Amino acid sequence: MFGVSSGPAAVFAYLSEPTHLLVASHRGHMVEHVPPPLHAGSWFVLAFGQLRVRIEYTAYDPPGLISYVATYGGRGSHGQRDVATFHLAENPRTHGTLVRIEAESRGGWTPSWLGRLLWPVQLRRLRARLESGSAAQSE
């Protein structure tokens, strides 16, 4: 569990942007998606050259719970699949957010032990972007 100075609504809004969910890159182009509003079952397909990533929200309960599955396809994907659940709660001391993540990566070219090391990178990125005020901008 780690803390972010932004409130749960801001953290939830950040996680509601599918490009923010990918650890490696945020520069994919949205090529398919379901129309708003977002809900459990909403999905998006991002393109990175020949690589495609389909992100589906499996739980979408603002401002405290958001889960997704990212399924990779195309040359080089090797069947990678990421599953993550973010539990968000207001920190009573700071009025920021306490974030707990349950995450798992399977398949792909990344060994499972390295995949586990990449999740903290995503959490640091979330904190840095929210605290710098650049959450609405793409990297």
Flag whether 137 is in a domain.
no
Q: Which long-range contacts (CB under 8 A, 24 or more apart) does 69-77 make?
A: 70/21, 70/22, 72/107, 72/108, 74/50, 75/50, 75/51, 76/50, 76/51, 76/109, 77/51, 77/52, 77/108
Flag whether 139 is in a domain.
no
Considering its fold, how many domains does the chain have in total?
Answer: 1
Q: What is the CATH number of the domain that holds 109?
A: 3.30.530.20
Collapsing DSSP to helix, strand or coil, 119 comes out as helix
Give the residue-averaged pLDDT of 3-25. Answer: 88
Flag whether 114 is in a domain.
yes
Q: Would you give the DSSP letter of residue 122?
A: H
Flag whether 29 is in a domain.
yes
pLDDT in tens, 29-79: 788 899 889 999 999 999 888 889 999 999 999 999 999 999 999 877 788
Which domain covers residue 36, as residue numbers? 2-132
> Is the pLDDT at 110 greater than 70, yes or no?
no
**Confidence at 13, pLDDT banded by 50, 70, 90:** very high
pTM (predicted TM-score): 0.85
Flag whether 18 is in a domain.
yes
